[in-house]
Structure formats: structure tokens, C-alpha cells
Amino acid sequence: MSLFSRESLVALATGERAAVSVDPREYELVAGPGGPGSDSTYGIPFKRLRAGSVVPIPQTGLTLRVERVYPNSRVVSPLEGGGGFTLAPEPAPPRAEAARPGLVGTVEGSGQPLFLYGGAASPTSVNTARGSLALMLRPIRRRLPFTIELVRFERDLYPGGEIARGYSSVVALRDQGTERRVTVAMNRPARQGGYAIYQSSWGSTPEGKDVSVLQVVHNPLRLLPYLGLGTALTGMALHYGLKKVGRRERRAGGAA
């Protein structure tokens, strides 16, 4: 992948659709009175948070004072005296693994320390004098300019086993009122605008339904090499064109 490309994932069961992808390698802090899925939720990339900073939470009048940030962390539980947990820093994980960031801070008016862990499955609720507030560290969401719907997922299993030797997804891509169906296979991506969609992996829901995991890659500089080539070809054409004109002028001068 290109240095400038941005990769994210979309996981869908048959019939599900999404216009948002998830980047498991980057996290964001989400906070708001309605929880992470609410329209009133405020999000800020984790990499912008600094120890000692004060983060205002819009629509609440509250602030979060950040005391410590850990690019990778682990849960230490329980605290001395029993109950609750705290966080400890961890070395950076191998490249193939995602980090689990952590944050230690205090919400104004809560009167208690706040511990947010990137591996938590649900938000942390904090009670303040101005009401309840939900906070969470989660993989960052990226809005797509189109919608992906999984029409059908297909697996080609090895004989007599449950191991797939190949799998593919039939997806419907909807963009500004238009729709087209394409098949995304392991070595056959689909393209939509400036995005490439790859078949990444698959899994299952607790109910046993297949889930297709698609990788969405966006490279805003993908056309730069072609623009550079076009510029070079234009320059060469001008160069040889001017040389040809110069030769004609010299011949005309000699004939005179």
C-alpha cells in the first residue's frame, strides 16, 4: 500500500449496509450525554490528546482534564482495597497487532478519576452535577461517500472440512442515487470513485451467520504519477516541437 493511502474495515452480515468504515489502528475519544452512537457525541482523535490538556465537551458545558495518555496499555485490576481498575503502559505491539490505548483523567464535577481503555466493549458512564456523560476510546470511524450492502457471501471449502480455500462477497454499491452490484474476491478488488474495496477476511455472528470483512483503501494521491507522466510527456512534446520549428527557421534563412 502507498505511504499516503488510508485503510479501514467494514464488517457486514448478509443484508446489512454501512456508510462508515472502522480503522482498527487509530483510536478516537468519543464523549457525549447520549453515548457513542448519538448525534450529540463529540469525537477527537486520540493522537491529539496530550497529558495536562483540558478538553471541552460540546453541548455539555463540561471539560475533561487529561492526566496521562498511553499509546498502548493494559488493565490492572483490581485496585488496592478491591473494586475498580487502573491502567498501566505497555510497549508498542508488533506491527501486525493493533495497540490498545489508554487514558487517565478527570471529568469536571465528577469527583472521581476516569480510566478509559481502548479494549473496552462499552462506554464508561460518569455522573456529574450537570447530568450523566458517556465516554469511550474506540477505533476511529471514517465516513464513506457511498454505501456498501452485502448481498451475498460465498465460501469455497476444502472437501470434507470447514476451511475455506476461497471466499468472495457480492456487494451493492450505492452513490448519489445510482447502484451497481459487483463481486469482491480475494484477489479481485472493486473500485468506487477514489476507493478500492478488497476482500479481507470473514467471521461469524453469535447466531452463526457469516460476516464478510472488507478492506477499504483510499489513496488521495493515486493519480499523482499519471499527472507527473502527463506533464513530462507535454514537456517533451514542446521541446521537440520547438527544436523542429528552429530547424525550419534555419533552413529558411539559408535558402534566402
The three-state DSSP-derived secondary structure of 5-51 is CEEEEEEEECCCEEEEEEEEEEEEEEEECCCCCCCCCEEEEHHHCCC
Domain boundaries, the chain: 25-139, 227-256
Q: Buried b / exposed e across 108-126, counting CB within 10 Å, b at 16+?
A: bebeeebbbbbeeeebbeb
- Count of CA atoms in the C-beta half-sphere (13 A) of 50: 3
Q: Does residue 189 have a cis bond before it (omega within 30 degrees)?
A: no
Full DSSP string of 140-199: EEEEEEEEEEEEEEEEEEPTTSS-EEEEEEEEEEEETTEEEEEEEETTB-EEETTEEEEE
Tell me which DSSP letter residue 227 carries.
H
C-alpha 181 chain-centroid distance = 24
Collect all residues with Cβ–Cβ distance below 8 Å to 200 and sequence separation of at least 6. Answer: 9, 213, 214, 215
**For each of the chain's 256 residues, which pLDDT tens digit applies?**
445 678 999 999 999 999 999 999 999 999 887 666 554 567 899 999 999 999 998 878 889 999 999 999 999 876 555 456 789 999 999 887 889 999 999 998 888 889 999 999 899 998 888 888 899 999 999 999 999 999 999 988 788 777 778 899 999 999 998 999 999 998 899 999 899 999 999 998 889 899 999 999 998 654 444 445 455 555 555 556 555 555 555 555 555 5
Res 7: pLDDT: 92
Determine the Cα–Cα distance for residues 7 and 219; give it in Å rounded to an integer: 9
User: Whole-prediction pTM value?
Assistant: 0.74
User: Is 73 within 8 Å of 83 (Cβ atoms)?
Assistant: no
Q: What H or E segment, with its residue span, contains residue 206?
A: none
Q: How many CB atoms lie within 10 A of CB 171?
A: 27
Collect all residues with Cβ–Cβ distance below 8 Å to 9 and sequence separation of at least 6. Answer: 21, 22, 23, 24, 200, 213, 214, 215, 216
Res 251: pLDDT: 57
C-alpha 54 chain-centroid distance = 26
